[in-house]
Amino acid sequence: MLVSRLALKLSVGIYSCLLVIYPVGFRCEFGEQMVMVFEDMCWDAMRVGGVWGLVGVWYLVLSELWSTAREQHLLAGSYFRFLRVRNCVLQAVFSLMGLVGGVWWVMRGKH
């Protein structure tokens, strides 16, 4: 259960940070609600499928994130900012994935 709670807290924190990819006005208006819905989705998925359910939520969220953020930036007239932020976010996500994978590998002690 501790791993599930940690995975949920970490997921909500990462998702909250990823919202920076949306235009400021959109984030101010919908950001808090988006985080609450994401957390509810994660809880439901983890109840049904455990940590793998959480992986499924992330798959859905990440596949939709880029297209909706792009659309919101086009509507706000800030598409080029979206491209810059997207590249920075991708670098951060892949770095975090590498860090988490490295910690997991070391903790398993199979090195």
In this structure, what is the dihedral angle of CA atoms 67, 68, 71, 72, given to the nearest 10 degrees? -150
Give dist(CA 44, CA 21) in Å, integer: 25
Give pLDDT tens digits for 5-32.
Answer: 888 899 999 999 899 889 889 999 999 9
Residue 77 identity (one-letter amino acid): G
Give pLDDT tens digits for 63-108.
Answer: 888 788 888 878 887 767 777 777 777 777 778 777 777 777 777 7
Residue 31 identity (one-letter amino acid): G
In this structure, what is the dihedral angle of CA atoms 105, 40, 58, 80, given to the nearest 10 degrees? -120
| pTM metric for this prediction | 0.70
Find out whether 62 and 42 touch, Cβ atoms under 8 Å: no
